[in-house]
Structure 1
Amino acid sequence: MRLFKVLLAIALTMLVVGTSQAAKKETKVGFVYVSPIGDAGYSYAHDLGRQAVAKMPGVSTSYVESVPEGPDSERVISNMARKGYDVIFSTSFGYMDPTLKVAKRFPKTAFLHCSGFKKSANMGNYFGRMYQARYLSGMVAGYMTKSNTIGYVAAFPIPEVIRGINAFALGLQSVNPQAVVRVVWTKTWYDPATEKEAAKSLLDVGADVIAQHQDSPGPQEAAQEKGVYSIGYNSDMSVFAPKSHLTAPVWNWAPYYTSVVKEVQAGTWKADSAWLGLETGVIALAPYGDMVPQDVRDAVEVRKQEIASGKYKVFAGPIEDQSGKVRIASGKTASDESLLGMMWFVNGVVGTTE
């Protein structure tokens, strides 16, 4: 009888320990989004990555959408940290400083900020080399335009957006040196009405392809209503403008998000800066519209493989700015540092960086 009690006690102890260990294995992962998830766009693409994380064993996820940049984001991020989240992804540029502040108060939590450049012992940053896909979409625009005027509805004049416009223009000019890119700033990330009106202003000056750097399909809808082409962003929004949509530079965050969570679970994660290119699968082009000829698709695919392999560099000189000044000399390639701080337009872009 005594032996039975001893064995029972051991079994109960093992059960308690096992239950405790199982409970500890759950990793809580939080995501903070600047816009509504909806069924397309920037936050939608991030949430597809979250959904992939949610399918991982021993993981639970949560998110808060439509969080303004600034004090509100600091409050939301702080709330997640206080609730014991193990990993928090803050997914907009304006969340950088708030994330850094919260990270200092919660040193045991892993924080990752998307599109910024600051980091700390427990805060890393990450982004994709979306300029590579922008270049490819610029090639498509260059082949498809007839007016040689491309309209670009741009969000905020920050390096990320300016870099993308420049890459788009370089891709455009690589196949159509006569074409120009006209830029209109909306100072919005997600405002369908404002972004649609900006696109209309570009259509009024002769643009027959509309590109964009925002989260809404507004610019593409404006293009379709005018009977011209469009190039989207973030996710495949072709359903909103099927007769207009040529393609779009898009995000696929699942590979990165799942890899980070695995590292946190294994105790091997370290804060660093990740800038992910075409070769990682994090960035890509959306499927082409039926109107894009096969020879155009083939030409873009060749260049895509060259960029992914490192054979071709988007920002390789000589590259001039709008004034004709050589910014990247022949035989030189722009450093990541210079790309991350890019605040000038290449020759062939019409507009100001402010």
Structure 2
Amino acid sequence: MMKTLISRRRLLKNGAAALAASTMPFGAAHAADKITIGAIYVGTRDDFGWNQSHAAAMDILRQVPGVSVVEEENVAETDAVAKSMESMINFDGANLILATSFGYYNPFVLDIATQYPGVQLRHCAPLWNPDTDPQNAGSYFSYLNQAHYVNGVAAGLSSISGKLGFVAAKPVQTVLSNCNSFLLGARSVNPNATVQVIFTGSWSMPVREAEATNALIDAGCDVISCHVDSPKVVIETAEARGVKTCGHNADQRDLAPNGFITGAESNWSTTYKIYADALMKGETVPNLIAGGYHNDMVMNTPFGAGATPDARAAATAAIKGLKGGKPIYVGPLKDNTGKIVIEGEVDNYAPELETMNYLLEGIIGSTT
């Protein structure tokens, strides 16, 4: 499965249109004046995090003529999600369902896609296998590490000490990529910058997140960033102690009116509009959509009061560079045990970055 996904990722430079053209049709499609799109969230739609990022995109989708939106919050990764999807299909007439939590895919999305071949289902993680999975299913995801690199640029120029903190859930590839990219962004403007990371062991553990934030501040970090489902506790804890922050997943500016710098966000509305447009026109709905800054699938939260003028200018320039294909990972780079992990320049969508299992030199912490 991974080999197939990687080969498709090489199409990213051609943008979403090329990805759409590369997908397999699920059957005859017909133009429609009205469509219904459903979205299912594992938590609340106003969590200042993962679920809110999707809900904000659905709010944008509501403004598209002919599109109706149905949503359900707090749906567990159990057969509850299957029941929610069936309800959206049978009672709301959903043409497309967006399953936004990792555990929704197997077996639930796969089973519902098989039972309802005329309905499209798309899951937010790179799990769809074109060789084995239903053709009315699919995946979408974003390379959020690009926006975390921009976070790092802004943090590096907004910090006085050069000591940055990162509250992380688990040492899996996506989290490590965001943390490493954050460091490289900071070091692009301050070569002496360091990042201290604390793993909480859970995607959502507010008490541990508060403890980790306080521990990083006590260790001298004057900017805190994170990768947890909802950064609300991290941002508010740091703000209460007068420490600056960079956000993750959604817009957290209102939580930190004094110290917020910027944040890393996925721009899910780009993908959702592509889906809606295809359904309305009766065209094939892309099975796989992925990307970063070059095809408007990631963005950074507008600057807050914590961003210095130099930070704003440098972060804006970094975004321009990423849109033009400037690489984040340029070797030789060592991990924080002294081993060379990247020899030369690596494209931002290179398959080798998908197996990242290390923390770079300059990061204080361990994956074990």
Same fold (TM over 0.5): yes
Whether 2:302 is the aligned partner of 1:278: answer: no
* Aligned equivalent of 1:295: 310
- 2:249–2:265 CA contact under 8 A, matched in 1: yes
The code of the aligned residue for 1:286 comes to T
2:251 is matched with which residue: 215, 236, 246? Answer: 236
The code of the aligned residue for 1:299 comes to A
* Greater Rg by CA: 1
What percentage of residue pairs aligned between the two structures are identical?
A: 30
SS of the residue 1:248 aligns to? strand
What does 1:81-96 align with in structure 2 at a 5 Å threshold?
Answer: 81-83=89-91, 84-96=93-105
* Aligned equivalent of 1:304: 319
Instruction: Flag the 1:336–1:100 CA change in 2: closer, same or farther, 3 A.
Output: farther
What does 1:40-119 align with in structure 2 at a 5 Å threshold?
Answer: 40-83=48-91, 84-97=93-106, 98-119=108-129
Q: Distance in 1 between matches of 2:78 and 2:364?
A: 31
- 1:166–1:346 CA contact under 8 A, matched in 2: yes
Shift of 1:141: 1.4
Instruction: Flag the 1:156–1:332 CA change in 2: closer, same or farther, 3 A.
Output: closer
Q: Distance in 2 between matches of 1:343 and 1:64?
A: 35
- 1:231–1:245 CA contact under 8 A, matched in 2: yes
SS of the residue 2:272 aligns to? helix
Q: Distance in 1 between matches of 2:334 and 2:113?
A: 40
The code of the aligned residue for 1:302 comes to A
- 1:130–1:249 CA contact under 8 A, matched in 2: yes
Structure 2 stretches of 5 or more lacking a match?
A: 1-31
SS of the residue 1:123 aligns to? coil
Instruction: Flag the 1:228–1:95 CA change in 2: closer, same or farther, 3 A.
Output: same
* Aligned equivalent of 2:155: 141
Whether 2:360 is the aligned partner of 1:352: answer: no
Q: Distance in 1 between matches of 2:220 and 2:250?
A: 26
Instruction: Flag the 1:338–1:73 CA change in 2: closer, same or farther, 3 A.
Output: farther
1:177 is matched with which residue: 166, 169, 191? Answer: 191
- 1:34–1:69 CA contact under 8 A, matched in 2: yes
* Aligned equivalent of 1:217: 232
Q: For 1:26-45, what per-residue CA distance to the aligned partner results, in whole angstroms no more than 9, with x for missing partners?
A: 32211011221127322222
- 2:163–2:221 CA contact under 8 A, matched in 1: yes
- 1:318–1:332 CA contact under 8 A, matched in 2: no
* Aligned equivalent of 1:16: none
What does 1:243-262 align with in structure 2 at a 5 Å threshold?
Answer: 243-262=258-277
Q: For 1:287-324, what per-residue CA distance to the aligned partner results, in whole angstroms no more than 9, with x for missing partners?
A: 222342222221222221111011x1113332222222
Shift of 1:70: 4.2
Q: Distance in 2 between matches of 1:95 and 1:342?
A: 24
Shift of 1:198: 2.1
Shift of 1:127: 1.4
- 1:260–1:269 CA contact under 8 A, matched in 2: no
Instruction: Flag the 1:104–1:319 CA change in 2: closer, same or farther, 3 A.
Output: farther
Instruction: Flag the 1:93–1:198 CA change in 2: closer, same or farther, 3 A.
Output: same
Higher RCO (CA 8 Å, separation ≥ 6 residues): 2
Instruction: Flag the 1:71–1:337 CA change in 2: closer, same or farther, 3 A.
Output: farther
SS of the residue 2:280 aligns to? helix
Q: Distance in 2 between matches of 1:192 and 1:67?
A: 20
Whether 2:186 is the aligned partner of 1:195: answer: no
SS of the residue 1:118 aligns to? coil
Instruction: Flag the 1:74–1:317 CA change in 2: closer, same or farther, 3 A.
Output: farther
Mean alpha-carbon deviation: is it higher for 79-88 or for 342-351? 79-88
- 1:154–1:212 CA contact under 8 A, matched in 2: yes
Q: Distance in 2 between matches of 1:67 and 1:341?
A: 30
Q: Give the alignment's Cα RMSD to 1 decimal.
A: 2.4
SS of the residue 2:104 aligns to? helix
* Aligned equivalent of 2:29: none
Mean alpha-carbon deviation: is it higher for 274-283 or for 125-134? 274-283
- 1:150–1:180 CA contact under 8 A, matched in 2: yes
Q: Distance in 2 between matches of 1:238 and 1:334?
A: 28
Q: Distance in 2 between matches of 1:131 and 1:33?
A: 22
- 1:252–1:282 CA contact under 8 A, matched in 2: yes
